Structure 1
Amino acid sequence: MNKIFLIFGGLLLSTILTYGQANISPAKAQSKPIVISGGTIHIGNGQVINNGYIAFDKGKITAIGTGAAPANAGADVIDATGKQIYPGFICPVTTLGLIEIEEGARGTVDDEETGELNPDARSIVAFNTDSKVIPTVRSNGILMAQPTPTGGIIAGQSSVVMLDAWNWEDAAYKMDMAIHMTWPVARANGRRRAPTPGVPQESPAERAQKAIDAIINLFTQAKAYAEIAKPAVTNIRFEAMKGLFNGSKKLFVNAEGAKEIVQAVDFAKKFGIQEVIVGGNESYLVTEVLKENNVPVILRETQRLPDKDEDDVYLPYKLPKMLQDAGVVYGLTGIGFWRQRNLPFEAGEAVGYGLTKEQAISMITLNNAKILGIDKTVGTLEAGKDATLFISKGDALDMISIDVQTAFIQGRNINLDNLHKQLYRKFADKYGVKANL
Structure 2
Amino acid sequence: MKKYTLYISLVLVSLSWGQQTPAAKQNQSILIIGGTAHIGNGTTQEHSMISIIDGKIQYVVDGRLAKPAKHDVVITVNENHHIYPGFIAPNSTLGLVEIDAVKASDDVREMGEMNPHIRSIIAYNAESLITETTRPNGVLLAQITPRGGRISGTSSVVQLDAWNWEDAVVKADEGIHLNWPRSYVRTGWWAEPGGIEANKEYENQIKAIQDFFSLSSNYLSGDRKNKDISLEAMNGLQAGTKKLYVHADGEKEIRDALLFKQKNKIAKMVIVGGYYAFKVADDLKQNQVSVLLKRVHDLPLLEDEDVNLPYKNAALLVKKGVLTALQNQGDMERMQTRNLPFYAGTCAAWGLTKEEALQLITSNAAEILGISENYGTLEHNKSATLFISEGDALDMKTNKVTHAFIDGRGISLDSRQDELYERYKGKFEQQKK
TM-score after normalising by structure 1? 0.90
SS at match of 2:25: coil
SS at match of 1:331: strand
Structure 1 position 220, deviation (Å): 0.7
Question: CA distance change for structure 1 residues 63 and 70 in 2, over 3 Å: closer, same or farther?
Answer: farther
Match of 2:97 among 79, 84, 99: 99
Distance in structure 1 (CA, Å) of the matches to 2:15 and 2:384 = 32
Distance in structure 2 (CA, Å) of the matches to 1:80 and 1:17 = 37
Match of 1:422 among 415, 419, 424: 419
1:120 has 2:117 as partner: yes
Question: CA distance change for structure 1 residues 337 and 204 in 2, over 3 Å: closer, same or farther?
Answer: same
Structure 1 position 333, deviation (Å): 1.0
Structure 1 position 107, deviation (Å): 1.1
Question: CA distance change for structure 1 residues 16 and 317 in 2, over 3 Å: closer, same or farther?
Answer: farther
Match of 2:160 among 152, 158, 163: 163
Question: CA distance change for structure 1 residues 18 and 257 in 2, over 3 Å: closer, same or farther?
Answer: farther
Structure 1 position 281, deviation (Å): 0.6
Structure 1 position 100, deviation (Å): 1.1
Q: Is the 8 A contact 1:223 1:245 kept in 2?
A: no
Structure 2: gaps (5+ residues):
1-9, 190-196
Aligned residue type for 1:268: K
Structure 1 position 320, deviation (Å): 0.7
Q: Which moved more, 1:246-255 or 1:74-83?
A: 74-83
Q: Is the 8 A contact 2:183 2:253 kept in 1?
A: no
1:76 has 2:73 as partner: yes
Distance in structure 2 (CA, Å) of the matches to 1:16 and 1:291 = 55
Cross-structure match for 2:183: 186
SS at match of 2:246: strand
Cross-structure match for 1:271: 264
Number of equivalent positions: 408
Structure 1 position 219, deviation (Å): 0.4
Aligned residue type for 1:126: A
Cross-structure match for 2:5: none
Q: Is the 8 A contact 1:226 1:245 kept in 2?
A: no
Distance in structure 1 (CA, Å) of the matches to 2:12 and 2:121 = 26
- Note the aligned Cα RMSD (angstroms): 1.9
Question: CA distance change for structure 1 residues 23 and 260 in 2, over 3 Å: closer, same or farther?
Answer: closer
Cross-structure match for 2:207: 213
Q: Is the 8 A contact 1:17 1:132 kept in 2?
A: no
Match of 1:355 among 352, 374, 396: 352
Query: Residue deviations 1:101-123, cap 9 Å, x none?
Result: 12x21111111000111000000
Query: Residue deviations 1:122-152, cap 9 Å, x none?
Result: 0000000010000101111000000100001
SS at match of 1:286: helix
Aligned residue type for 2:232: E
Question: CA distance change for structure 1 residues 373 and 113 in 2, over 3 Å: closer, same or farther?
Answer: same
Structure 1 position 207, deviation (Å): 1.5
Question: CA distance change for structure 1 residues 313 and 430 in 2, over 3 Å: closer, same or farther?
Answer: same
Match of 1:227 among 218, 221, 225: 221
Match of 1:28 among 15, 24, 29: 24
1:144 has 2:141 as partner: yes
Q: Is the 8 A contact 2:82 2:388 kept in 1?
A: yes
Structure 1 position 164, deviation (Å): 0.4
Distance in structure 1 (CA, Å) of the matches to 2:18 and 2:153 = 33
TM-score after normalising by structure 2? 0.91
Cross-structure match for 2:88: 90
